[in-house]
């Protein structure tokens, strides 16, 4: 167990008047234990932490079913993150331990949001590799979206620990869908291409979105691209420790709406990143928590036009006294 991280969680539980906390999320488990495990229970109770594994994983002691061991633990008021535990697992946990479940979000996510120097170094390295890979993608006439995505995936495996997620490559009007699945659509040098990709480096993820093609600022997509870049530049000036996260989300949305693009905003302005490509916090209009030093996050404002295409720009930042771009 990582005692430093466990200590931070113990203090957070005390602040929230919780006696225990439970997670089954594999990334949470890896963060605190250094072990990759599916279907396990990580239980924090009375200042200590225990990992309950099934028989698929090696154990130093004689293996005992998690159900049998959990029945002997009194958890009391137990914090869980609803997004990280299934209804069936939650029901089983209550039945096994008799605990009182308190839904609390963020909990484990709040600890993971404050990155340590080594974590920041790994994300920075992942982002550097991603930028180099993306800039090296050469789109040629007749190449399909699937061809380009396959190239990115293959290069991700040769340059790093593989892709952080399935690459998104969208040509022309397909760019109107933020999570477009690469198809057989062919590239034309007169069309815009949206590429969203990232690699894994030492378990940490990168996330990068770039537009490739010929931009004319007088066209609709040209004006939209200028607007998302300016919205991000404006927001970055206000991202400091203590700034409300939701305030930044609202700032970006208002800027884009003032440019006449309110109906073309389809997603939040960014998200945390680390062991998972999408972590807390979401940089949306409703988030009340504040930015803190050590947070690593993306900013990815985008605008989308049905039948025409879309534009998005995305980079990863770490918050020090102000936001610093990684990669």
Indicate the pTM of the whole model: 0.94
Residues 32 and 53 in one domain: yes
Whole-number pLDDT of residue 320: 98
Q: Supply the range of the domain harboring residue 56.
A: 3-113
Q: Are residues 220 and 122 in the same domain?
A: yes
Least confident range from 96-105, 118-127, 211-220: namely 211-220
The residue to which tokens 């069309």 are assigned: 191
Query: What long-range pairs does 234-241 form, CB within 8 A, spacing at least 24?
Result: 235/269, 235/299, 236/299, 236/317, 236/322, 236/323, 239/291, 239/317, 239/319, 239/322, 239/323, 240/291, 240/319, 240/321, 240/322, 241/290, 241/291, 241/292, 241/293, 241/319, 241/321
The region of weakest confidence among 3-17, 33-47, 123-137, 312-326 is 33-47
Q: Kind and range of the H or E element at 7? A: helix 3-15
Using CB atoms within 10 Å of the CB of residue 165, give its burial: 0 to 12 exposed, 13 to 18 middle, 19+ buried.
Answer: middle
Q: Domain containing 137 — which CATH number?
A: 3.90.230.10
The percent of residues in the chain predicted with pLDDT above 90, rounded, is: 78
pLDDT in tens, 239-254: 999 999 999 999 999 9
So what's the pLDDT on residue 35? 87
pLDDT band at residue 36 using 50, 70 and 90 as cut-offs: confident
Mean of the per-residue pLDDT values of the chain: 93
Per-residue pLDDT at 49 = 87
Q: Are residues 14 and 104 in the same domain?
A: yes
For residue 172, what pLDDT is reported? 95
Please indicate, yes or no, whether residues 149 and 77 belong to a single structural domain of this protein. Answer: no
Question: Alpha carbon of 17 to those of 24, 74, 104, 289: distances in Å?
Answer: 21, 16, 11, 19
Looking at the fold, whether 317 and 229 belong to one and the same domain comes out as yes
DSSP 123-174: HHHHHHHHHHHHHT----TT-BHHHHHHHHHHHHHHHSS-BSSPPEEEEGGG
9 within 8 A of 3, measured Cβ to Cβ: no
Query: What is the pLDDT confidence band of residue 29, given thresholds at 50, 70 and 90?
Result: very high
Give yes or no: residues 70 and 121 share one domain. no
Number of domain units in the chain: 2
Stretch 153-160: mean pLDDT: 97
Confidence grade of residue 98 (pLDDT, cut at 50, 70, 90): confident
pLDDT of 218 reads 78
Residue 119 has pLDDT above 90, yes or no: yes
Q: What is the pLDDT of residue 214?
A: 65
Lowest mean pLDDT among 54-68, 100-114, 200-214: 54-68
Q: Within this chain, do residues 275 and 291 fall inside the same structural domain, yes or no? A: yes
Q: Do 91 and 226 fall within a single domain?
A: no
Query: Do both 130 and 84 map to the same domain?
Result: no
Q: How much is the pLDDT for 53?
A: 78
The domain spanning residue 36 has which CATH number? 3.40.350.10
Looking at residue 67, its pLDDT comes to: 60
Q: Indicate whether 96 and 135 sit together in one domain.
A: no
Regarding whether 174 and 74 lie in a shared domain, the answer is: no
Q: Are residue 108 and residue 123 in the same domain, yes or no?
A: no
Which residue shows structure tokens 């890896």?
30
Give the span between the Cα atoms of 131 and 111, in whole angstroms.
Answer: 28
Q: Does residue 295 contact residue 318 with C-beta atoms inside 8 Å?
A: yes
| Residue 288 pLDDT | 95
């Amino acid at each position: 167990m990582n005692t430093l991280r466990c200590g931070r969680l113990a203090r957070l539980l005390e602040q929230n008047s919780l006696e225990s906390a439970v997670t089954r999320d594999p990334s949470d488990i890896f963060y605190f234990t250094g072990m990759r495990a599916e279907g396990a229970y990580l239980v924090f109770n009375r200042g200590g932490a225990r990992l309950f594994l099934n028989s698929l994983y090696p154990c130093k002691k004689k293996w005992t079913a998690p159900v049998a061991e959990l029945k002997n633990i009194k958890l009391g008021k137990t914090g869980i993150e609803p997004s990280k535990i299934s209804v069936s697992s939650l029901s089983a946990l209550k039945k096994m331990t008799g605990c009182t479940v308190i839904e609390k979000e963020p909990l484990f996510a709040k600890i993971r949001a404050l990155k340590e120097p080594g974590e920041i170094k790994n994300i920075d390295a992942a982002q550097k590799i991603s930028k180099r890979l993306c800039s090296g993608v050469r789109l040629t006439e007749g190449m399909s979206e699937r061809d380009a995505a396959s190239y990115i995936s293959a290069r991700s495996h040769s340059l790093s620990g593989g892709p952080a997620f399935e690459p998104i490559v969208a040509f022309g009007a397909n760019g109107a869908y933020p999570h477009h699945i690469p198809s057989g659509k062919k590239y034309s040098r007169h069309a815009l291409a949206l590429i969203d990709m990232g690699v894994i480096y030492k378990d940490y993820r990168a996330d990068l979105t770039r537009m490739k093609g010929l931009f004319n600022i007088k066209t609709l997509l040209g004006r939209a691209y200028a607007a998302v870049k300016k919205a991000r530049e404006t927001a970055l000036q206000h991202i400091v420790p203590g700034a409300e996260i939701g305030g930044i989300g609202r700032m970006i949305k208002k800027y884009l709406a003032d440019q006449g693009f309110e109906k073309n905003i389809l997603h939040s302005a960014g998200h945390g990143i680390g062991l998972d490509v999408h972590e807390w916090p979401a940089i949306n209009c409703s988030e009340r928590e504040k930015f803190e030093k050590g947070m690593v996050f993306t900013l990815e404002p985008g605008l989308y036009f049905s039948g025409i295409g879309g534009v998005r720009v995305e980079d990863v930042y770490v918050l020090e006294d102000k936001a610093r771009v990684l990669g």
